Amino acid sequence: MQNLIDLLRKTTSVATDDVAQLTKKNFNDNYGYAGKPVNFTNAFQDMPIKIKWTHEYLSKTLVKQEKIENTNDESAPLYISYADYLNISEPHLYFKTSGLLSAEIKEDYHIPEAFNCWYSNTKLGAPKTNLSWIYAGNAGTGSQIHRDIWWSSAWNYLLKGKKLWLIYPAIYSEAIKKNISEYQINPNLEDWSEVINLPYKPLTCIQNAGDMIFVPGDCYHQVINLEWTLSLTENFINETNYDLVRTYFRNSGNRDNLSKIEMIVRKGFEQLEAQK
């Protein structure tokens, strides 16, 4: 039996940065270009949604019945709203929005400059694919090991509770992909020996309310909620990671999608030039 303290002691920590204000240059130079996961523990403590997004507000705003995976029974997804979810206390049900977030919700927050997204901001037509999600979950819920959509990078802002992050350095990605079932941990909040005994160990980090985690697109990761949590996450593509996303589309063999991404990348660089 190995508890959470053992796990944290026996693994390397995700970098933390307590800078008070995160500039795009600081982020790109230290984390973005290097693809280095990091937890910003200070710069985003005062995001207004931390106060504004109460259960009452979200119950009125997130009214859509979302498809909730039931990890106890994969054949039976449930369709429930945020308000419905608040009345359920099951560790195998994790609330996650799907589809584009409403304009009302989007107006509640500003995307930090460091994480601007060439895809979401494209002037080439309304983006069809959603890159923003709200998650809410009881202790014991979480996201199974994965790499993010299109191998894009993500920021994840925690509004309430505590999350444990397992982020595998990118150098392990090929080995993990070949043996993914070994890394699909079914979390046991009392005993973390399964993670401690993995051949490739993750970087670990406890994210507290107000912390913002950056996950590079080439890192497999898993998240386990240690308490009731509420979080907002968005994926982004910009000068720091466009080549990985382009590689994803090259590998996918869909020439149409590849040429759209090529165009978005070209426009992104043109905009960067224009800002100089």
- Does an H or E element contain 81, and which? none
- CB-nearer residue toward ligand AKG: 118 or 220: 220
Give DSSP secondary structure letters for 176-233. Answer: HHHTHHHH-----TT--HHHHT-SSPPEEEEEETT-EEEE-TT--EEEEESSSEEEEE
> CA neighbours within 13 Å on the CB side: how many for 59?
8
By CB under 6 A, is residue 148 in contact with ligand AKG? yes
Restricting to residues 69-88, which ones interact with ligand AKG according to CB under 6 A? none
Find the binding residues for ligand AKG in span 113-142 (CB under 6 A).
133, 135, 142
Is 238 near ligand AKG (CB under 6 A)?
A: no
State which residue, 23 or 129, has the beta carbon closest to ligand AKG: 129
Instruction: Give the residue with the Cβ less far from ligand AKG, 145 or 261.
Output: 145
User: According to CB under 6 A, which residues from 156 to 175 bind ligand AKG?
Assistant: 156
Nearest to 140 by CA among 60, 202, 229: 229
Residue 231 interacts with ligand AKG (CB under 6 A)? Answer: yes
1: Cα within 13 Å, side-chain hemisphere = 2
Q: Quick check: 268 binds ligand AKG (CB under 6 A)?
A: no
Q: Does 143 bind ligand AKG (CB under 6 A)?
A: yes
Least distance from ligand AKG to the Cβ atom of residue 98, Å: 12
User: Which long-range contacts does 78-87 make (Cβ < 8 Å, 24+ apart)?
Assistant: 82/58, 82/136, 83/59, 85/136, 86/55, 86/59
Q: How many residues bind ligand AKG (CB under 6 A)?
A: 11
Using CB under 6 A, list all residues that contact ligand AKG.
133, 135, 142-143, 148, 154, 156, 221, 223, 231, 233
